[in-house]
Amino acid sequence: MTTTLRPDGAEEPTPHGGRTRRWRICVNGRPVGGLRTTALPRGDQWWGEISELEVTEGRRRGRATVGVLAAEEVLRGWNCRRADVTVPAGSAAGLRLAEALGYASRMQNMAKHLDLPPALPPGVTDRPMTAAEFDAWLAEAREHYVDELAASGLTREQARIKSDADHHHLLPQGRTTEDVVLRHLQDVAGTVVGDLWLALRQGLLPDGSPFAWVMVVKVDEAHRGRGHGRALMQVAERECLAAGVRDLGLNVFSRNAVAIRLYESLGYTVTRRTLGKDLL
């Protein structure tokens, strides 16, 4: 039997200059599943994504494996230098498949439905980031993101290209970008101990309601271990509810066990995992 990919609709552009296409996984010409390939520009590089993988007939016969390998060939043909696969939460089989094909865990998405605005710890306050503070914060945030991406498996070159592209896309007007919250957290002495970057309307859920996204939550190293990370997340939840947004998501790198435990303690649950590898 021969397993192949066949187009399941026309190739489509993505909003920021990429390309995406849905494919049928076929055995001797008969559809048995499907997947999607996406290529996104990152500076002078292209990044690939494989998502929406499903096998509807004849599971455990290697069809998903062949489908993913064929999708990698599509991405190579689209000049992608690496590929990420997204695995929904609870898909143990999908996670095993990705790991067997050489994909390494990079990060996971987590989410929470919000009800009541939380109160900050006594004496802890937050305030907007000033224009003068923003430039220094942005330079540090970009460099920190490079470090996190490199630690997750990217080369320094790949990490810097992605960091530059992501910050340019997400903060096109800098501090005044619409629906962006940038705040500092202050302790009881009035010292700035951490900062928050929140995108209030990052997208829509299937029911049409908006969801927000925590882009950065960071506590200064000298002030860690005092509950300030929890307080920053409480600020994010309060800002969401004040804007009429009741669902908040975030991304956390897999190696950051401390942050994962914090988010779990606040009621956030994993929605999907991302694993990646270089396409040689």
pLDDT digits (tens, 9 = 90+) for 165-202: 899 989 999 999 999 999 999 999 999 999 999 999 99
129 and 249, same domain (yes or no): yes
* Structural domain contains residue 170: yes
Q: Examine the pLDDT at 137 and tell me if it is beyond 70.
A: yes
Q: Which of 61, 77, 102 is the last residue of a domain?
A: 102
251 pLDDT higher than 90: yes
Question: What mean pLDDT value characterizes the chain?
Answer: 94
Task: Look up the CATH number of the domain holding residue 72.
Answer: 3.40.630.30
Its domain, for residue 221, covers 113-275
Query: Do 95 and 122 fall within a single domain?
Result: no
89 lies in a domain? yes
This model's pTM is above 0.85: yes
pLDDT of residue 42: 82
The tens digit of pLDDT for each residue in 145-165 reads: 999 999 988 889 989 999 998
Long-range contacts formed by 135-144: CB under 8 A, 24+ apart: 137/182, 137/195, 138/167, 138/171, 138/174, 141/167, 141/197, 141/216, 141/218, 142/167, 144/218
Is the pLDDT score of 1 beyond 70?
Answer: no
pLDDT at 45: 85
Higher pLDDT, 217 or 44: 217
